[in-house]
Each structure stands twice: as structure tokens, then as C-alpha cells.
């Protein structure tokens, strides 16, 4: 999801966005409805034939509420809310041609918070918090058509938990999902639970894995105290742990066998820092302080630090191993524009436009490549 500006600071970013910190778009992309039998999803998928896509489908000519972009092994995907000020939000996931911005398939979900997509084992995976039903669903999607091909009820949050469609990870040959107070290991072929690990007292949690699936990282928090953990990618057993204090569980922006970048909101403020995965201890000299919206993500082998209203100081590319600054982001307004993702030397960013956000592109600095 779009990172919150400081004025909308809250322990749970998505809740704040849904409550009205976003702008209402002038118009959202539409697609012909297609009947679909799965779960709580209302499909609006296209055939995927580029000839069937018209110019108006391009994401660069639309306004969106809280857009996010994710590059996966299967392509580029856009997630956005259908309208501002609606809770629970209604969200759409779209597959996008990265060069033209054409929407080649889309799927609009019933009210709930949908996570960023993960491509693994030949499928696309998301979680849907299904607010109206009170549970967290793991959905397996066809990466081309975005049709739901399987689903699993992964758990039900406690009434006071902020769990909202947490991330999905792929490690040890299985899909791992935060099932609201429990970790669930899922067989990709059958979308069935192979193992459930309770996390008693976890008010919120997050999960991530290295690209090769050999390293699984988990965080949990409750009442301002928590930890980040390296767990066995097959059994889920805790191998190393480090205490972290934050209003919600720490979030992750890039995992390797050597290190993981961690984002910790501490209230109105926050920080990012690299941890050594072997010991789960902080790496000296990598901590960067900012607002609760500061983020650090590794895309295309480079670290990208972003913080709205952070200016040049907190919007830059860096070495993912050391955090050493390489170049300031070349966005028109570093207090308003927000970097969404980077791929193949192109930066995709959002800019306030009318009542929503427009998506634009700009070449990445040579120093960032």
C-alpha cells in the first residue's frame, strides 16, 4: 500500500488510508465483468490479448486512490482502492504492461484489504483480510488472468488486532502466510495448510523471505514490544531473534542470506535499518531515522529509501549491503511525489493530481544502477 504521509500517521497505515487520508480519484479504470465462482472475489479480468486493450486503459492516464506497484517474476501489478474514505476499502489488482501502461487484466475484490502480490511456484499469491467476514484469506491467482484458482482461510484476528491482509512469503518450497496470530505453511499445488505455528500474544505480524527461498524472516509485536526472527524455512522453528519496539510489527524491504532491511514505525516517527540474518542483530551504521512513513526496499539489486515530506535527505538510492548513499531521487517534488517501484532503470512514482494520484515514470540515475 501507499506509505502514509506524516499527517496521517497511525499505528496501522492501511486503516488510516481507508479512513480518509487518501484522495478520491476522478475515475477508476473499468473492465467488463466476468462471472466467477471463487470466494469473495468479483472478477473483472480481460482476455490478456493486447489487441483488446484500448488507450484509455493505460495507467498513466488515470487517477488512483493509494496506488502501489509491484514487479514480480510474472510482470508488473497495480493495486489500488476503488474510492477514498471507504472502510473497509474495495480494492482492485491489475496486470499492467510496464512499457505502455496498458491494463491487460484486472480483478476487483469485495470489501477488505488486499496485500501486495507475490509470484511463486508458478502462481500469484495475495492475502485478503475480508473485513466483513472477519478472517484472513490466502488467494492463489492465475498470474495472467488474475482469476482465483484456490483459497485458504488462514485465520481470524482477535477483535483488537490490526491485522489487515499481511504479506505472503515463499520459502522452503512452501508458501508462508501470517494467519492472524499464527504462521501457516501452505502447499502451493493444493492450497492446503501443511503446518500451523501459533504466535500467542502477537498483536500484529509480518513475514518475508529471500528470493531463493532459503531464508525466512518473521516479525511480531504487541503493545509496543516485539521481535524480528529468522525461522527455519521448512519447520518454522525460531533460529535467531532480536527485540524490536514499535507500534506495529516491523516490516521488511528486502531479504538475502546475509541481511534484511527492516522498517519500524515507532509512533509519529520511525526508522529503517539493516539486520544481519545469521544473528538477527542490527548492522552498525545502517540506521536511518525519519517519520513513521519511512521505507527502504531493495529493487533490482539497489536499496531505495523513501520518506514523504523528507526532501532530498530521505529520498535516495543506496548500497543494499551498507546503506551508503549513491544518489538523490530525481523526482520533481521530493516532499510530494512518492517512489512506487523501480525496474530496468525506470522509476515509477505517484504525484498528487486533482482528487487522486497520477502515476509517472522517470529514468533512474546512473549512480543507482
Q: Are 358 and 80 in contact (CB under 8 A)?
A: no
Asked whether residue 14 carries a pLDDT value surpassing 80, the answer given is no
* pTM for this model (two decimals): 0.84
CA distance linking residue 257 with residue 233, whole number of Å:
12
Q: Say which residue the cell 521530493 belongs to.
A: 334
The pLDDT, as a whole number, for residue 359 is 96
Q: Provide the total of helices (H) and of strands (E) in the chain, helices listed first.
A: 1, 29
Closest CA to 252 of 269, 233, 224, 277: 277
Q: Is 237 exposed, middle or buried (0-12, 13-18, 19+ CB in 10 A)?
A: exposed
Q: Which of 245, 271, 293 is the last residue of a domain?
A: 293
Whether a cis peptide bond, with omega within 30° of 0, leads into 88 is yes
Residues 94, 7, single domain; the answer is yes
Same domain, 284 and 305: no
- Lowest model confidence (mean pLDDT) among 1-10, 255-264, 280-289, 296-305: 1-10
For 207-227, letters b (16+ CB in 10 Å) and e give bbbbeebebbbbbbbbeeebb
pLDDT of 36:
27
Q: Which of 266, 293, 320 is the last residue of a domain?
A: 293
Q: What does the mean pLDDT of the chain come to? A: 83
> How many structural domains are present in the chain?
3
- Joined together, the cell numbers standing for residue 13 give 497505515
Q: Does residue 109 sit in the same domain as residue 19?
A: yes
Q: For position 135, what pLDDT does the model report?
A: 79
Give the number of other CB atoms < 10 A from CB of residue 285: 10
CATH of the domain at 196: 2.40.128.630
Q: Is the pLDDT of residue 259 over 80?
A: yes
Residue 186 pairs in a beta bridge with 175, 193
The answer on 110 and 24 residing in a single domain is: yes
Reported in sequence order, the residue ranges of 142-268 that DSSP labels E, i.e. its strands, are 148-155, 168-171, 174-178, 182-187, 192-198, 204-209, 216-222, 225-231, 238-244, 251-255, 259-265
Report whether 333 contacts 362 (CB < 8 A).
no
Q: Report which of residues 137 and 119 the model is more confident about.
A: 119
> How many angstroms separate the CA atoms of 364 and 346, rounded?
5
| Among candidate residues 293, 319, 339, the one where a domain is terminated | 293
327 belongs to a structural domain: yes
- % pLDDT > 70, the chain: 80
Mean pLDDT of 305-326: 95
What's the whole-number mean pLDDT along residues 250-257?
A: 91
What is the per-residue pLDDT across 265-298, written as a single tens digit (0 to 9) for each? Answer: 998 999 999 999 999 999 999 999 999 999 999 9
Which residue range forms the structural domain that includes residue 321?
A: 296-369
- How confident is the model at residue 310, as a pLDDT? 87
Give per-residue pLDDT as tens, 28-78: 333 322 222 233 344 443 333 333 333 455 899 899 999 999 999 999 999
- Per-residue pLDDT of 143-201, as tens digits, reads 999 999 999 988 766 555 555 557 899 999 999 998 777 899 999 999 999 999 988 87
| Residue 132 domain-assigned (yes or no) | no
| CB-CB contact of 78 with 59 (8 Å) | yes
Q: Residue 161 has what pLDDT?
A: 56
- 248 inside domain: yes
289 and 197 within one domain: yes
Asked whether residue 238 falls in the same domain as residue 181, the answer is yes
Q: How far apart are CA 230 and CA 196, in angstroms?
A: 17
Whether 266 and 187 map to the same domain: the answer is yes
Is 308 in the same domain as 366?
A: yes
Q: Are 181 and 241 contained in the same domain? A: yes
Q: Is the residue at 135 inside a domain?
A: no
253: in domain: yes
Identify the pLDDT of residue 44. 40
To the nearest 5 percent, what fractions of the chain are helix, strand and coil? 10, 45, 45
The percentage of the chain sitting over the pLDDT mark of 90, rounded to a whole number, equals 63
- Is residue 34 within 8 Å of residue 46, measured between CB atoms? no
- pLDDT for residue 26: 35
Least confident of 52-56, 60-64, 223-227, 346-350: 52-56
Give the pLDDT of residue 9: 33
At residue 159, the pLDDT reads 56
Mean pLDDT on 221-233: 91
In a domain, 133, yes or no: no
Quickly state the pLDDT bin for 216 (edges 50, 70, 90).
Answer: very high
Banded pLDDT at 89 (limits 50, 70, 90) = confident
Dist. CA 14–CA 113, nearest whole Å: 8
74 found inside a domain:
yes
For residues 157 and 361, the model is more confident at 361
Q: Residue 248: which pLDDT band, with cuts at 50, 70 and 90?
A: confident
| 21 — pLDDT class (breaks 50, 70, 90) | very low
Please enumerate in sequence order all residues whose Cβ is within 8 A of that of 75, keeping only pairs 6 or more positions apart, or say none: 95, 96, 98, 143
How high is the pLDDT of residue 281?
A: 97
Residue 267 domain-assigned (yes or no): yes
Q: Are 96 and 102 spatial neighbours (Cβ–Cβ below 8 Å)? A: yes
Q: Is 280 helix (H, G, I), strand (E, B) or coil?
A: coil
Same domain, 289 and 306: no
Lowest mean pLDDT among 270-279, 316-325, 352-361: 352-361
Same domain, 181 and 227: yes
As a whole number of angstroms, the distance between CA 231 and CA 358 comes to 39
Give the distance from CA 74 to its chain's centroid. Answer: 16
The residue with greater pLDDT, 305 or 48, is 305
One domain, residues 342 and 270: no
Amino acid at each position: 500500500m501507499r506509505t502514509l504521509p506524516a499527517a496521517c500517521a497511525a499505528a496501522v497505515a492501511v486503516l488510516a488510508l481507508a479512513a480518509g487520508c487518501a484522495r478520491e480519484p476522478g475515475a477508476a479504470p473499468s473492465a467488463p465483468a466476468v462471472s466467477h465462482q471463487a470466494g469473495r472475489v468479483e472478477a473483472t479480468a480481460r482476455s490478456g490479448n493486447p489487441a483488446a486493450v484500448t488507450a484509455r486503459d493505460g495507467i498513466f492516464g488515470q487517477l488512483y486512490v493509494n496506488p502501489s506497484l509491484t514487479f514480480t517474476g510474472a510482470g508488473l501489478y497495480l493495486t489500488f482502492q476503488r474510492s477514498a474514505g471507504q472502510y473497509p476499502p474495495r480494492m482492485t489488482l491489475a496486470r499492467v504492461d510496464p512499457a505502455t501502461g496498458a491494463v491487460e487484466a484486472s480483478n476487483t475484490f469485495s470489501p477488505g484489504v488486499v496485500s501486495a502480490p507475490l509470484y511463486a511456484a508458478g502462481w500469484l499469491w495475495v492475502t485478503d483480510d475480508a473485513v466483513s467476514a472477519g478472517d484472513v484469506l490466502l488467494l492463489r491467482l492465475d498470474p495472467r488472468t488474475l482469476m482465483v484458482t484456490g483459497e485458504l482461510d488462514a485465520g481470524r484476528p482477535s477483535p483488537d488486532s490490526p491485522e489487515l491482509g499481511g504479506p505472503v512469503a515463499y520459502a522452503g518450497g512452501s508458501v508462508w502466510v501470517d494467519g492472524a496470530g499464527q504462521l501457516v505453511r501452505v502447499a502451493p499445488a493444493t492450497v492446503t495448510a501443511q503446518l500451523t505455528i501459533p504466535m500467542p500474544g502477537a498483536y500484529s505480524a509480518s513475514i518475508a523471505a529471500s528470493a531463493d527461498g532459503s531464508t525466512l524472516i518473521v516479525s511480531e509485536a504487541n503493545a509496543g514490544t516485539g521481535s524480528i526472527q529468522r525461522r527455519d524455512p521448512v519447520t518454522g522453528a525460531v533460529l535467531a531473534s532480536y527485540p524490536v519496539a514499535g507500534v506495529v510489527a516491523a516490516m521488511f524491504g528486502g531479504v538475502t542470506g546475509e541481511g534484511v532491511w527492516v522498517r519500524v514505525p515507532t509512533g509519529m516517527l520511525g526508522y529503517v535499518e539493516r539486520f544481519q540474518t545469521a544473528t538477527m542483530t542490527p548492522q552498525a551504521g545502517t540506521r536511518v531515522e525519519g517519520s513513521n512513513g519511512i521505507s527502504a526496499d531493495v529493487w533490482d539489486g539497489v536499496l531505495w529509501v523513501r520518506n514523504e515530506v523528507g526532501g532530498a535527505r530521505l529520498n535516495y538510492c543506496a548500497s543494499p549491503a551498507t546503506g551508503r548513499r549513491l544518489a538523490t531521487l530525481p523526482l520533481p517534488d521530493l516532499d510530494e511525489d512518492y517512489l512506487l517501484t523501480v525496474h530496468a532503470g525506470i522509476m515509477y512514482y505517484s504525484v498528487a493530481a486533482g482528487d487522486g494520484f497520477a502515476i509517472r515514470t522517470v529514468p533512474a540515475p546512473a549512480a543507482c544502477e
